[in-house]
């Protein structure tokens, strides 16, 4: 795995930890030289550093010296506070015909269903992209028209003795574009893992975005 892809996977893990809002890894000759963390004030810097060390060791067998991890904190509570509503992928449907395949993804938010659809060719790569695109289509039903998630790329990559799914997206809002990355280890259903990786990429930002008038309040 190249270094850029490797650090993207690390960031996807660290940014899921409580209190962490952003992460950047600086490498030197393939080794981690510095880790820069942006967090809220819901947890102390020392606890955040310990969480990062434990997560990297448990998930990737990477040992980090606490002295190379710097934490900058900004006021405000954790975005992922207890009780925050989260998107759930309820069901995935795939169909195939002579002309290609189609994916239908069913999401729910507080019991309300949102369905996205996408067509593709018969290749495995096309199927993965269609699943991610259908997930994005369902997500966009929940957002105000000035906000849109756009699919960039979908990849499978080896992580140790397992396979992981990476989904790159862009959030377009008010003329600005933000890059997002979601990651998920493949489970028993590799297709479902693509939808989960897509949701992983947007869950942190989703609750901060204005909702569609038809969907009600998102956060």
Burial 92-127 (b: 16+ CB within 10 A, else e): beeeeeeeebbbbbbbebeeeebbbebebeeeeebb
CATH 3.30.160.270 residue ranges for the chain? 88-206
Q: Which sign does the torsion angle of CA 40, 200, 162, 129 carry?
A: negative
190-219: average pLDDT: 79
What CATH number should be reported for the domain whose range is 88-206? 3.30.160.270
Reported in sequence order, the residue ranges of the chain that DSSP labels E, i.e. its strands, are 20-28, 31-39, 69-73, 88-97, 100-109, 112-120, 147-159, 162-173, 176-185
Q: What is the pLDDT of residues 132-188, one digit of tens each?
A: 999 999 999 999 988 999 999 999 998 878 889 999 999 999 889 999 999 988 888
> Average per-residue pLDDT in the chain?
86
What tokens appear for 118 in the block?
């996408």
> What pLDDT is stored for residue 217 in this prediction?
42
For residues 117 and 102, is the Cβ–Cβ distance under 8 A?
yes
**DSSP letters spanning 94-154:** EEEETTEEEEEEEEEETTEEEEEEEEE-SSHHHHHHHHHHHHHHHHHTTB-TTEEEEEEEE
C-alpha closest to that of 156 among 133, 181, 186, 136: 186
CATH topology of domain 3-73: GMP Synthetase; Chain A, domain 3 (3.30.300)
Q: What is the pLDDT of residues 84-122, one digit of tens each?
A: 556 788 999 999 888 888 999 999 987 889 999 999 998
> What pLDDT is stored for residue 185 in this prediction?
85
CATH 3.30.300.30 residue ranges for the chain? 3-73
């Amino acid at each position: 795995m190249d270094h850029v892809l490797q650090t993207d996977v690390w960031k996807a893990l660290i940014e899921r930890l409580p209190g962490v809002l952003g992460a950047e890894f600086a490498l030197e000759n393939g080794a981690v030289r510095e880790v820069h963390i942006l967090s809220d004030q819901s947890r102390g810097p020392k606890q955040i550093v310990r969480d990062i060390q434990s997560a990297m060791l448990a998930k990737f067998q990477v040992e980090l010296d606490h002295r190379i991890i710097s934490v900058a904190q900004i006021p405000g509570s954790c975005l992922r506070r207890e009780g925050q509503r989260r998107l759930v992928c309820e069901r995935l449907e795939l169909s195939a015909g002579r002309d290609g395949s189609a994916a239908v993804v069913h999401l729910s938010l507080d019991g309300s269903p949102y369905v996205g659809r996408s067509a593709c060719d018969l290749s495995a790569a096309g199927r993965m992209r269609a699943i991610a695109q259908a997930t994005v289509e369902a997500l966009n039903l929940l957002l105000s028209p000035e906000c849109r998630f756009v699919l960039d790329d979908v990849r499978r990559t080896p992580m140790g003795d397992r396979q992981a799914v990476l989904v790159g997206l862009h959030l377009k809002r008010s003329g600005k574009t933000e890059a997002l990355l979601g990651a998920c280890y493949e489970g028993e259903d590799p297709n479902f893992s693509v939808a989960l990786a897509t949701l992983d990429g947007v869950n942190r930002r989703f609750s901060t975005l204005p909702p569609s008038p038809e969907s009600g309040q998102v956060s």
